[in-house]
Structure 1
Amino acid sequence: MQTALENSAIYVTADAPPLSGSALEDLCQSYLVVKSTIDRLSRRYDEELLEKLIYVRRLDASLVENQEAMDGWLADLLPMLNSDLGISESCELKWLNESETGTGEAGLLVERKVHGISTDKFIPADFFATVEYRNIIELGEKLSGLLDDDAFVQRGEKNIRSVVFGRHLNG
């Protein structure tokens, strides 16, 4: 990775000193670990939701136990999921308690509709206590507020405007 990042830097704002060297390498490494985790977990859980979890606050027991706080967390997450969808697609989120699932296990139901056909994926509450989820959230905390609207990536002599971390990581 060190070689790939050589002569690369991220300017989080136009006026700030660049993020480069070991700091950039550590951030890129964290990003790649989380992306790999999401790729693996996407066989079981909704991939787009896993990616958006990077950008929302941590879901913990205090949120789950407070219906109003839980509704707020879902309300923060839902527009992120729907923003990338086409006109014939929609997504709904519901937190189900143990009695609502039929399995005795609480969790997040992700309901996607594409051309009227519904697909449901369930993420059990236990997922939100895993190392994988913690890594996703910790990456989000590192990236939160990092890139300003005028942020850019510099590779050698080339500057690429970017406000999404990782967009240019693979080339």
Structure 2
Amino acid sequence: KKGKQERYVKDDAEMEKYLTELALNNAELYPSESADPILGSALMTLVEEYQLVTAVLLRLSSHYYPAFLKQLIFQTAIPELSDNASMTTWLAEIEQRLNKDLPTGTSYKLSVDSKDNDSVPYINVSFSRHGISTDYHIPGEFFASTEYQRILTFADKINGLFSEGARVQRGERSEEITDFAQAVKWLLSEARRGQSVQRYKGLGEMNPDQLWETTMDKSKRRLLQVKIEDAIAADEVFSTLMGDNVEPRREFIETHALQATNLDI
């Protein structure tokens, strides 16, 4: 809701689409102080590609270390894992960004390792906090995947695009930036200015007019079919998370912890 205007969206995907359209209205991206702006459909295409890639990264984060994955957008193509000199330089660039602005007593160390001489090497991400280290492995096979190629294709478009004086502008407001992620974050933040967002978890939370506009009006409402399989699956999840047996609940949380978003605590 903004002012007297109200708009209903059914899920996060539709919300992101709406905010993106709003954010790019009258938006211009200047890669450098003297460069011509990127705007209109060209800017929309870049933002949509960025959102697709971040969705890929979110999906992959349940399998691989998220902080490392996020750095791939800003990185050139990985060299051959067997090329020690090139890999040292490549990993050092990521390591430098990961260690930037970390709290005292924490640090990252990246290296190439393998379990034995015959296996495909992997990247080891070692995170140290007050002398206690935790290692995360990124298998070499990942860099031959279609997901990595999609990330790399987008990275090639934006890396090296920005230089001194780069900024993003929307209307009369502007912000200096150093990378594309900052530009998108700022634009979406601007789109949210003055917006009042409400989430409804049940029909009982709505006023009568809201209930009519979203659910009771036949021309606007959505009907979803619930099958017996859905009820069985829901019962299993409910029993796992709310039952008296602690061990299945602990196992579920440990397995799915990195997939959790929008926690309502």
Question: Do they superpose with TM above 0.5?
Answer: yes
State the alpha-carbon separation in 2 of the partners of residues 131 and 84 from structure 1. 32
Verify the 8 A CA contact 2:127 2:134 in the aligned structure 1. yes
Work out which of the residue numbers 95, 99, 102 in structure 1 matches 2:116: 99
Where do residues 135-154 of structure 1 align in structure 2 (5 Å cutoff)?
A: 135-154=150-169
1:170 aligns with 2:188: yes
Verify the 8 A CA contact 1:28 1:166 in the aligned structure 2. no
Task: Name the structure with the higher strand share.
Answer: 1
Letter in 2 for 1:86: P
Letter in 2 for 1:82: N
State the alpha-carbon separation in 2 of the partners of residues 84 and 50 from structure 1. 18
- Rg comparison, structure with higher value: 2
| Long gaps (5+) in structure 2 | 1-19, 190-265
Residue matched to 1:35: 54
1:156 aligns with 2:171: yes
State the alpha-carbon separation in 1 of the partners of residues 176 and 97 from structure 2. 22
Change (3 A) 1:31 1:84: farther
Verify the 8 A CA contact 2:75 2:159 in the aligned structure 1. no
Q: Secondary structure of 1:120's match?
A: strand
How many pairs are equivalent?
167
Change (3 A) 1:79 1:27: same
Residue matched to 1:84: 101
Letter in 2 for 1:106: P
The alpha carbon displacement at 1:163 in A equals 1.7
State the alpha-carbon separation in 1 of the partners of residues 114 and 139 from structure 2. 10
Residue matched to 1:69: 86
Q: Secondary structure of 1:170's match?
A: helix
TM-score by length of 2: 0.58
State the alpha-carbon separation in 2 of the partners of residues 131 and 33 from structure 1. 13
State the alpha-carbon separation in 2 of the partners of residues 116 and 31 from structure 1. 36
Q: Secondary structure of 1:166's match?
A: helix
TM-score by length of 1: 0.87
Verify the 8 A CA contact 1:111 1:119 in the aligned structure 2. yes
1:128 aligns with 2:146: no
Q: Secondary structure of 2:152's match?
A: helix
State the alpha-carbon separation in 1 of the partners of residues 101 and 142 from structure 2. 24
The alpha carbon displacement at 1:109 in A equals 0.9
State the alpha-carbon separation in 2 of the partners of residues 76 and 160 from structure 1. 26
Aligned-residue Cα RMSD (Å) equals 2.0
